[in-house]
């Protein structure tokens, strides 16, 4: 992979929001952005872990005053997503990059206090809600920046390809009788379709770049040795085998793909809406990942769900 953190441009004055930033890929991404002068908001559930992560990042980049700030987000409690977005908006008037990174993988079946299965809410619903609440500031920021400065990145996975037909189980969204990998794959397909929709709404539309456009991507970081891969290995022989064979990348290496998508100079305008994979390159979406009818249905269904519970108006 030719891209390195050192090749990132100066990000002084730019503001980023990264969910799941206290460990793994999120922590490494924040470290990279902060090392280039960016202000970064770290979304996480545990304040103690977030505070420790911030201290670790500041020490590693040799900047004890690096502007990294904690935002409380519990993805299993949608009310905290609303509160977290409001907290951010009370502090900032611009947002140059939103990286939806938080997630779980192959955990036991569980339903949130909001009534949704854990994978679907943690990986997708909470991020959809956060996006809707922060889209106005992203759009305003983009109007005041050159094209390509403002980015929207949603962490997905190659597992989206393995989502069982019909892709999204609208009539049984919690998938209680399915395997953990099936629930995970559904949530990752939802992430891909969501990123597609944001690109459709806000990505480049004309041949000539213009202010106001946001460059969008979904990202597959590959198999990375984090807490997610540990959960995967606990339920999958394939996962255990791949990790034992040393096939999982380190968090620092695995983070290069989302870092590139979030702020790399080499990200091309025509890649907006693409699925970015290791090697900092776009890959054509396949199967349900390019199903426009499913994308439209999911976006409408999700908005109606969140409105019915009072999280969106």
Q: What is the DSSP letter of 45?
A: S
For the cut 50, the answer to whether the pLDDT of residue 233 exceeds it is no
Element holding 54 (H helix, E strand):
helix 47-60
Q: What is the dihedral of CA 307, 18, 286, 176, to 10 degrees?
A: -60
Residue 6 counted as domain residue? no
Is-above-0.85 flag for pTM?
yes
pLDDT value at residue 234? 46
- 275 inside domain: yes
Give domain status of residue 254, yes or no.
Answer: yes
pLDDT above 80 for 281: yes
- Asked if residue 4 is part of any domain, the answer here is no
Establish if 5 belongs to a structural domain. no
- The total number of residues written for the chain in this structure: 313
Which of 41, 116, 184, 232 is the catalytic position? Answer: 184
pLDDT given for residue 2 in this prediction: 78
- Domain presence at residue 19: yes
222 burial class (0-12, 13-18, 19+ CB within 10 angstroms)?
middle
Q: Read off the CATH number of the domain in which 165 is found.
A: 3.40.50.720
188 is catalytic: yes
Residues in Cβ contact with 234 at an 8 Å cutoff, skipping those fewer than 6 apart: 106, 240
Range of the domain at 104: 11-308
Catalytic residue among 16, 188, 232, 299: 188
Domain assignment of residue 125, yes or no: yes
| 1 inside domain | no
The total number of structural domains in the chain stands at 1
Q: Decide if pLDDT at 229 tops 50.
A: no
């Amino acid at each position: 992979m030719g891209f390195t953190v050192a090749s990132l441009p100066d990000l002084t004055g730019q503001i980023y929001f990264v969910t799941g930033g206290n460990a793994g890929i999120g922590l490494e991404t924040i470290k990279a952005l902060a090392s280039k002068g960016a202000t970064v908001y770290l979304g996480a559930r545990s304040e103690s872990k977030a505070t420790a992560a911030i201290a670790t990042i500041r020490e590693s980049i040799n900047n004890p005053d690096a502007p990294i700030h904690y935002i409380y987000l519990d993805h299993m409690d949608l009310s905290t997503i609303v509160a977290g977005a409001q907290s951010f908006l009370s502090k900032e008037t611009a947002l140059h990059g939103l990286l939806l990174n938080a997630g779980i993988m192959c955990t036991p079946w569980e339903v949130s206090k909001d009534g949704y299965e854990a994978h679907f809410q943690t990986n997708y619903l909470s991020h959809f809600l956060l996006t809707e609440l922060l889209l106005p500031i992203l759009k305003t920021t983009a109007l005041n920046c050159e094209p390509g400065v403002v980015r929207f990145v949603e962490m997905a996975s190659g597992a989206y390809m393995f989502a069982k037909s019909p892709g999204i189980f609208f009539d049984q969204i919690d998938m209680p009788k399915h395997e953990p990998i099936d629930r995970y794959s559904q949530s990752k397909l939802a992430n891909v379709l969501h990123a597609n929709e944001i690109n459709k709404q806000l990505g480049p539309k004309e041949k000539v770049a213009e202010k106001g456009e946001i460059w969008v991507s979904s990202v597959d970081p590959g198999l990375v040795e984090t807490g997610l891969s540990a959960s995967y290995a606990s339920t999958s022989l394939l996962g255990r085998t791949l990790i034992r064979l040393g096939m999982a990348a380190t968090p620092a290496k695995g983070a290069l793909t989302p870092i590139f998508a979030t702020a790399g100079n080499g990200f091309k305008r025509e890649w907006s809406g693409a699925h970015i994979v290791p090697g900092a390159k776009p890959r054509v979406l396949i199967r349900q990942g390019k199903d426009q009818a499913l994308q439209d249905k999911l976006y409408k269904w999700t908005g109606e769900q969140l409105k019915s519970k009072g999280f969106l108006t």
